[in-house]
Amino acid sequence: MDRAFRSRDTSYDGVFFVGVRTTGIFCRPSCPARKPLAKNVEFIDTVQQAFLTGFRPCKRCRPMDVNGQAPEWVQRLLIRVGESPTSRLKDADLRAMSIDPARARRYFQNHYGMTFQAYQRSRRLGLALTQLRNGADLSDVAVRYGYESHSGFRDAFEKVFGKPPGRGRGVSAVVARWLESPLGPLVAAAMPEGVCFLEFTDRRALERQLATLRKRLDSPVVPGNNEHLDKLTEELGLYFAGKLTEFTVPLVIPGTPFQEAVWKRLREIPFGETLSYAVMARAIGRPRAVRALGTANGANRIAIVVPCHRVVRKSGDLGGYGGGLWRKAFLLKHEREVKAGAWRAGETV
């Protein structure tokens, strides 16, 4: 990390951040500013860690700005997998591409919630499912996607989809991709009807929420993309740029009748405003259900778009937020400033 920082290596942007103790700021590894003494440098894993340890973002390299692009070496990996999804890139192949396998594992684990090898495997199985649903022969699919035996393909397929490949034509899957944002990476998922999941990858309840999603939709979640995820990516970019105040991407958010009533009311809270839990409870006709409303609010599986961050305590305190209170504070401040016309690109912190 020190070598990357001293050489301003842009390929490490997003992999880690650098805190400067003497100035109280944190930067990208590629920051063009003069390099501080080594004793004044602190390496940081996430934006959250930077905020919680008292650092503020550098105004020169703007480490919280997002362009929706992964580092160049990650893009090369993704392109390679996309062009040849049936092949398996091993550690030796990564080294031949001048990519450290450990570095790839760390980046994919931090940003995509799985190792690079797991990403490749899930991608192959997702494409295999598509082929089966389109009527392809099972034997052909197994060989095409790199499995030397039917038993190996069957075991891998059933582990992911919960059904053997022979029944794959009746299996549906939720496709997921990972998005960059000024507040850290997000995992987003969608089905043909709309977006059904959006959450920060470091949320403690992430695995439980994904398990609930799989159960509610009776579908596995595999790497992939569709038009709804493309639209979500575009709208999130406009939202963080201060150019969008209302999301239009279709949503699929199944829950209990009470949860669905809460989530519907959340989407009716105007941009740049907040409501208390008590007011929310009265608005859905359940004035005594304040605690239950808080639980339903926390169970929201589509962060930002279904704005559970706009609910606060009666006193005005922020209350809870599954993605971390620092993110809730950021989102509320961002929306207030956009609404007031006081926001300027790159300066909302």
- DSSP letter for each residue of 226-243: -HHHHHHHHHHHHHHTT-
Rounded-to-integer distance, Cα 64 and Cα 28, Å: 9
Which residue in 228, 195, 230 sits closest to 305, CA to CA?
A: 195
Environment class of residue 215 by beta-carbon count within 10 Å: exposed (0-12), middle (13-18) or buried (19+)? Answer: exposed
Beta strand 311-312 with 275-276 is parallel
CB atoms within 10 A of CB 283: 16
Environment class of residue 301 by beta-carbon count within 10 Å: exposed (0-12), middle (13-18) or buried (19+)? Answer: buried
HSE-up of residue 276 (Cα within 13 Å, Cβ side): 10
Which residue in 185, 189, 213, 190 sits closest to 201, CA to CA?
A: 185
DSSP class of residue 164 equals -
Active site residues: 27, 308
